[in-house]
Structure 1
Amino acid sequence: MRKFLWMSLCIGLLASCELFESKEDKAQKLVNEELLGIDWNDVDQYPHFDSCDELAVKEAQRQCFQTVMIDTFSKALSGLKFQVQHDLNDTVYVDFLIDEHGFISVLNVEEKTSVLNEIADFNAKITARLNDLTTVAPALKRGNPVSLRFRLPLVLNTN
């Protein structure tokens, strides 16, 4: 009987090692598990302009954001005039960042040889026109403001 009690006590002590784990270790373990469960490629709430309803369903928020963003950039680019030697029919992609404070900035303008051969300073002019046009309420992930990257196509057609 003593052997059985002794073995039970040893097994009980080995199995209860988790009881001796520090609170910091337990908290870190929970945080790590929570972080692994988050889909970092999606936001809970899209950035929104004043004209968009922040209480609308997510798809409506996205649609309003895209519509207002395209309108804003179209107006900013409407006054640009370029002279070209040859016809252009191409699409250039512009990458943007809306940071956690709602500031919009151009990250990159795709460099297309066909466009740069016709318009040498194309990327610089596009970046200058589109950088810091306006601010928006930033995207939210779990109630916290987060940065959001997005890409817009810029269709060039001189026909």
Structure 2
Amino acid sequence: MRKLFGILILGLSTSCNLFVSQEETTKNMVNQELLEINWNDVDQYPLFEGCEEDLDKIAQRSCFESAMLGYFSESLEGLSFQVNKDMNDTIYVDFLIDEHGFIAVQNVEEKESVLNEIANFNTEVSRRLNDLTTVAPALKRGVPVSIRFRLPIILNTN
């Protein structure tokens, strides 16, 4: 009898999990998984033509940056402005590559020193850079996601 009572107590103490709903267990697992995801990083960077999907993440990033800088330089090639005094400044351009792979200028940093010398600088840079190509979007857990990035434009008249 004592043995049966011990088995009954053991069975009741281990079966408490039977009273927890499957939905609650699933919800707890999903919440734990969401907490472990680094939302500030992607699993795969946007891919330009010529960048291989099966490269490791560091090589993908390097290929992405090189291709982006190439398109960036090509788009701004031939752009020239007349200035009255020497300039040595850096302007940052913020981009968004959306989940469909479209590249758009989000913001061109406004610096008074630059705008005083080149009034239409931000407008002209935005116009030229919004015509960049489309890419395969960044991926997070196999799902296309948007990604933001920033590139510098160095202005030097020397």
Taking structure 2 as the reference length, the TM-score comes to 0.87
Shift in Å, 1:69: 0.5
The answer on 1:46 being equivalent to 2:76 is no
State the partner residue of 1:79: 78
Match of 1:55 in 2: 54
1:67 aligns to what?
66
Q: Distance in 2 between matches of 1:132 and 1:120?
A: 21
Structure 1 alignment gaps of length 5 or more? 1-8
Please tell me the residue identity of whatever aligns with 1:100: E
What RMSD over aligned residues (CA atoms) do the two structures have, in Å? 2.3
Q: Which residue in the other structure is 1:133 paired with?
A: 132
Query: Could you tell me how far apart the structure 2 residues matched to 1:16 and 1:132 are?
Result: 63
Instruction: Please give the TM-score of this superposition, normalised by the length of structure 1.
Output: 0.86
Amino acid at match of 1:105: A
- Taking the TM superposition and a 5 Å limit, the aligned residue runs for 1:1-159 are 18-159=17-158
3-state SS in 1 of match to 2:153: strand
Question: What is the percent sequence identity of the aligned residues?
Answer: 66
Matched residue type, 1:54: E
SS in 1 for 2:80: coil
Q: Runs (4+) of structure 1 moved beyond 4 Å?
A: 12-18
For the 8 Å contact 1:102–1:138, the answer to whether it is kept is yes
Provide, for residues 77-126 of structure 1, a one-character-per-residue CA deviation record: whole Å limited to 9, x for no partner.
11212111111110001111111111111111111111011111211111
